[in-house]
Amino acid sequence: MSNFTALLASGLANGAIAALAAVGFLLTYKATGVINFAQGALITLGAYIGIWVTQKNGMFGIGALDLVPGYIVTIAIMFVVGIVLERLAYAPLRGRSVHVVVIATLGAAIALQALIGLWQGTTPRFLDTPVGGDVVRVFGANVSTQRIVIIAVTAIVVTAMILLFQRTQFGRQLRATAADRDTARLCGVPVNWLSMLVFGMSAALAGLAGVLLGPLGVVDLNLGFNVMVLGFAAAVLGGFGSIGGVVAGGVAIGLVQDLFGGEVAAIRDYKTTLPFVLMLVVIAARPQGLFGRAASRRL
Amino acid sequence: MSDLDVEPAQPVAAPERTAAAAGSRTTDARPPAMRGAPYLSLAIFLVAVALLRQYGDFGLGDADLVNTWLFYSVIVLGFYFVFGVSGQFAFSQAAFAAVGGYTSAWATREAVFGTDTFWVGLVTGVVVACVIATVFAYFMRRASEFYLAIATLGLSEIILEVLRRWTDFTGATGDTTSGIRPISIFGLEITSFDSYRIFWVWLGALAIVMLLAIWVSRSAVQRETIAGRDQHLVASTLGVPVLNKRIAMFVLGSAIASASGAVFVHVKGFANPDSFDITLGLGIFVMLIVGGLDSRWGPIAGAAFYVFVPQWLQGGVLGISGPTLTIHIFGQDHRAGDFRDIFFGALLVVTMIVFPAGLVGIGRLVRAVTFGRVRPARRTWFSDFLGITPRRGEAAEAPRPPESTRLPPVSATARAAAQGGDATPAAGAPILEARDIRVRFGGVPAVDGVELSLYDGEILGLVGPNGSGKTTFLNALSGVVEASGRAEVLGTPIRLGQPGRIRAFGVLRTYQAPQTYAHLTCLEDVLLSTPDRAFTGMAASWFVRPAVNAHERARWNAARHALEQVGLAALAEESTARLSYGQRRLLELARAIHAQPRALLLDEPSAGLNATETDQLARHLARLKRDGIPILLVDHKLDFITSLCDRIAVLELGRLVAIGPADTVFSDPRVIDAYLGVDEEG
């Protein structure tokens, strides 16, 4: 039983990681219709900035920040990075089809990843966390406190996002911009400001994901990419675009990976492939996602 | 508009639309796609590379770079088929190279087939990759392009993860598999440090893949794949097996990747999953786009750029000395090569904005300027796909001519032509029979139990107010929407809900807005509807060239003849993007003629045409009818309909309210109430 609970807790935490990675690119997707393939590189960047501001000399030699203020500074820096990225790689392509922007985000991902490598080298680094390596016992199972933090933060972020989209004028404007940018502009929606803001927020979420996920293992150049593809799997399961759905999708892949992969000996070695297997099955059987609705296609 | 002059003036002796009859006039002309000397250019290129390698003044490092370039060229050529020709957003190329490499290593290590020969390993690797690619592509057939991108990312993760863990298969200690048998050709062992022999292996591989690409482009495969890529529903209703072509291209690209992976692994003597991770996958993407993705030379150019330029920037390559840049950043000196990925990431963006046709596009421009043959700005499917096609000098998006409020009368000649033949519908079994066709959108019945029969030798008009279900009825018959009911062609039931199903029975349909292919020439566009589908497959294009050539030639001549009939022969080799709206309508008509259909379903063929063009259309339809092709004609122009049609069916709210000769139908009070009484134009 305790083994089961431990796997359940671990699965929930892994699902929360995928969901946390996914909310960032879902935000830009919902507002602009673009899948930002640079999200992974942004998560990596967030983790490295987190290390940078909290290490011994701190950023620009101003000394180390405490962890929590350091995280906040990281998220603020990432917000600015997002705006810069929007200006450089997205704004010049405005009015082009979503495909050109997607390929531009691929270019941004390649460039950003290389830039991080140049800046920080390829040696894996470590990021600290206020809760350290603590472990709490949940129903008789040991779960690292960091994972509990991740679950809690993901819950807060997702709730905030849903409220933002459904209940605020800002959310309505975002949805209107996504549906038809030109019409939204004609109705007085400040679309340029919105897209800067959205890219900033999305990068800030990547920064948040980076500083929260970094301490779970080592921080290296592939950190962001790996969680981003998990995020894709969660988003596909959730019907791509639904923020509530991505949480369900994340929990589904987390549980499949840890419960199924953990209990069945034959595939235990390959359990990290299970989220993707599940994703492929879903795309094959229900291209609109487990929790999504079929979109009708017109000629 | 000079369309009137082009209309052939001999209504008599309407020629048999067969390849043989048409061939007598133009047999000597080679079809455009068969012109040029691709084999010669390939041979010149290969010899030049070989000479450079033989006599070039460069060291071991450069020799390895040349080999890397050739490897990349081969694997990117595979991706050219997947993304360049077929438009599939796939990141799986690198992972399929890993499948080929590891499977081949396994098959030779374990002597699975009783031998440890490299060739057996290579074939095993390619077969395994083909099986995986086929299954994957089949199950992903409904995935949209971004879903396919994500799915291929997922597939790559699965493949690499399995290769990292399954050490029984890979024979790895730690991450690395070592001791893989070298390639041996005619008893010559090619070891990992023999870069000279390795060069010849790669050059041979490149030659083979380029030959495959040439053969694909000189057959029906390429244009049909492009048609499926740009408008898959239209392509299916024209008779193109869209899914087959899509899967075939994905499998071909993956097979090439796996073969190159097998050679790569055996040449190196070791393997590591990290050599095939997403870095290579993204690099392949960059090379294809930078090189130019609408030409088979693009991958070679892109790979050369990717491999040699960074090397040149940090001191020189292939005997050409470079600037030896060092850049001081983040407290360290960095050589230019360290900025490679930053550079290429940025270049990816710049390429799409500035020159979507890539290096090959620049080459074409230079050649055009040098030889004084400046052609209009090249439009690639990719620039369309990205929405960045230059707008200059294009007739494609020409505004529709305004429809006059009062419909112009159809001329007396057209009327006479229509009624000139045997105007009475022939008795006997119907060509096309629809029974109880129903289509629902959500809870709304759009077509509600329509029953119609189309008889030999008649034109059956289908009219009704907007939203009465005319187009949806055609969509149901042609399998574009899900529908219930029965449809029979010459007594054989056809399955509904499958696009292209009815085309297999000889019934061709057109769409409300003209659907022509901007990335094909008019001739190629007409060829899509060919009734002769022999030797149009990919394997045929490689293995039975003479038959492919003979059939292609006959098809080209027939298509040219169809274009002559509608008066577009002069534009045969121009891109359809250069046609006016009315000409695109005529092109669709040429397709219909070329298709030699059992029956035609035309959806508002006169929409957007002016009086002259409508008149011309009426004469063409009358001639098709005389040639024995029954037509189901949906249209709004009542004069046009009444002058052409033997019978008229009226739909209202998805139900058939009347059917019969024009005068009976239009005096029917229900019709007057439902259709004529409503002032829908406002």
Q: Where are the domains of chain B?
A: 32-278, 417-516+596-682, 517-578
CA-CA distance, B641 to B643, in Å (whole number)? Answer: 6
Written in H, E and C, the secondary structure of B255-291 is HHHHHHHHHHHHHHCEECHHHHCHHHHHHHHHHHHHH
CA-CA distance, B469 to A87, in Å (whole number)? Answer: 47
Those residues whose C-beta lies under 8 Å from the C-beta of residue B158, and which sit 6 or more positions away, are A273, A276, A277, A280
Q: Residue B676 class from Cβ within 10 Å (0-12 exposed, 13-18 middle, 19+ buried)?
A: middle
Q: What is the CATH number of domain B417-516+596-682?
A: 3.40.50.300
B557 alpha-carbon distance from chain centroid: 21
User: Hey, what are B30's tokens?
Assistant: 């080679």
pLDDT value for A294: 44
| Cα torsion angle, B302, B308, B314, B320, sign | negative
How confident is the model over B247-251, as a mean pLDDT? Answer: 95
Q: Please indicate whether, in this complex, the C-beta atoms of B234 and A299 are within 8 angstroms of each other.
A: yes
Name the 3-class secondary structure at B17: coil
CB B98, CB B162: distance < 8 Å: no
How confident is the model over B456-471, as a mean pLDDT? Answer: 87
What are the residue boundaries of the structural domains of chain A, listed by start? 2-221
* ipTM value: 0.87
Angle at the Cα of B148 (from B95 to B139), degrees rounded to 5?
Answer: 90
Contacts of B229 in chain A (CB under 8 A): none
Q: Please indicate whether, in this complex, the C-beta atoms of B157 and A273 are within 8 angstroms of each other.
A: yes
Q: Please indicate whether, in this complex, the C-beta atoms of A114 and B339 are within 8 angstroms of each other.
A: yes
- Quote the pTM value: 0.85
Give yes or no for B29 touching A (CB within 8 A). no
Among the partner residues A92, A233, A240, nearest to B154 by beta-carbon distance? A233
**Closest to A184 (Cα-Cα) out of A193, B615, B628, A87:** A193
Q: Please indicate whether, in this complex, the C-beta atoms of B345 and A114 are within 8 angstroms of each other.
A: yes
Contacts of A233 in chain B (CB under 8 A): 150, 154
Q: Please indicate whether, in this complex, the C-beta atoms of A283 and B143 are within 8 angstroms of each other.
A: yes
Q: Please indicate whether, in this complex, the C-beta atoms of B139 and A280 are within 8 angstroms of each other.
A: yes
Render pLDDT for B325-379 as a digit per residue (tens, 0 to 9). Answer: 677 766 677 776 677 788 888 888 788 777 777 888 888 888 877 776 545 445 5
Q: Please indicate whether, in this complex, the C-beta atoms of B385 and A99 are within 8 angstroms of each other.
A: yes
Q: For testing the chain B interface, which of A28, A100, A296 should be mutated: the one with the most B CBs within 10 Å?
A: A100
Q: How far away is chain A from the Cα of B561, in angstroms, using its nearest Cα?
A: 30
> Residue B375 gets which letter from DSSP?
P
Q: What are phi and psi of B675, to 5 degrees?
A: -120, -60
In chain B, the percentage of residues whose pLDDT exceeds 90 is 21
Q: Please indicate whether, in this complex, the C-beta atoms of A113 and B340 are within 8 angstroms of each other.
A: no
- For residue B125, give the H/E element and its range: helix B118-139
Give yes or no for A99 touching B (CB within 8 A). yes
CB B582, CB B18: distance < 8 Å: no
Q: How far away is chain A from the Cα of B262, in angstroms, using its nearest Cα?
A: 24
Contacts of A287 in chain B (CB under 8 A): 142-144, 147
- Shortest CA distance from B144: residue in chain A: A287
Interface of B with A in 518-547 (CB under 8 A): none
Q: How far away is chain A from the Cα of B170, in angstroms, using its nearest Cα?
A: 15
Contacts of B282 in chain A (CB under 8 A): 106, 109-110
Give yes or no for B289 touching A (CB within 8 A). yes
H helices within A33-66, ranges in order? Answer: 39-54
CA-CA distance, B151 to A105, in Å (whole number)? Answer: 18
Among the partner residues A89, A114, A236, nearest to B342 by beta-carbon distance? A114
Render pLDDT for B87-119 as a digit per residue (tens, 0 to 9). Answer: 888 899 999 999 999 999 898 888 788 787 888
Taking only the tens of pLDDT, chain A with its 299 residues reads: 557 777 777 788 888 888 888 888 888 888 877 788 889 999 999 988 888 888 766 666 666 667 778 888 889 999 999 998 888 877 777 767 666 777 888 888 888 888 888 887 777 888 777 777 777 777 666 778 888 888 888 889 889 888 888 888 888 888 888 777 788 888 878 888 888 888 999 999 999 988 888 888 888 888 888 889 889 888 888 877 778 888 888 888 888 887 777 677 777 778 888 888 888 988 888 776 665 554 433 33
Give yes or no for A109 touching B (CB within 8 A). yes
Q: Please indicate whether, in this complex, the C-beta atoms of A284 and B289 are within 8 angstroms of each other.
A: no
Backbone angle region of B596, left / alpha / beta, with phi > 0 → left and psi within -120 to 50 → alpha = left
Query: Beta-carbon neighbour count of residue B290 at 10 Å?
Result: 25
User: Hey, what are B452's tokens?
Assistant: 């119609």
Give yes or no for A256 touching B (CB within 8 A). no
How many Cα atoms sit within 13 Å of B235 on the Cβ side? 23
Contacts of B155 in chain A (CB under 8 A): 276, 280
